[in-house]
Amino acid sequence: LLSHLKIPHEDFKKAIMSLDTRTLQPNFVIQLMRLLPTDQEVAALQSYTGPKEDLGTAERFLFELLCIPRLKPRLQCFVFILEFNARLHDLSENVEVFTYALHDLKQCTKLGKVLERILAIGNYLNGTGPRGGAYGFKLEVLTKLADTKTSDNKSTLLHYLASFIEKDSPDLLTFPQDL
């Protein structure tokens, strides 16, 4: 790691203290975070009283790092700053896709009518019990349509729904093409 560091240790320390994004690259800072000294290594370095010149390059570098207050949180913030624009770009793309999908779902009236049928069937099956007369349902219920079997175990609630819509409103069966 130190062989890739092309600046003096003191300048490196200043770059971390000032969060200089031009001097330090994200990959280097991430690697540095992984190689931070353990508590035992910190104690050994802090107990050293001899001249710094007698220390090896790595030890002198760590000695300089230990002089930086709140080093680990500072490096974590530094990585966040360095990666912020890339993360923002990725999230912006996801939000844009989600927004388009939501718009398409809102515009698809056929899907709304299919969901109304599902709610009506669910309310009919649940009758006047505590789960009957619902004003809506969670989307996870849709996955249970294929799991709910008829009394003879020959078909599912999803099969019944498809045949019901085919007889009652066949135009609703084309809702996937509207999305």
* pLDDT confidence bin for 65, thresholds 50/70/90: confident
The predicted pLDDT at position 1 comes to: 61
Does residue 4 have a pLDDT over 70?
no
- Nearest residue to 83 via CA among 26, 34, 31: 26
- Nearest residue to 137 via CA among 107, 155, 117: 117
- Nearest residue to 112 via CA among 159, 172, 177: 172
Q: Is the dihedral of CA 119, 120, 125, 131 positive or negative?
A: positive
List pLDDT tens digits, range 87-114: 999 999 999 999 999 999 999 999 999 9
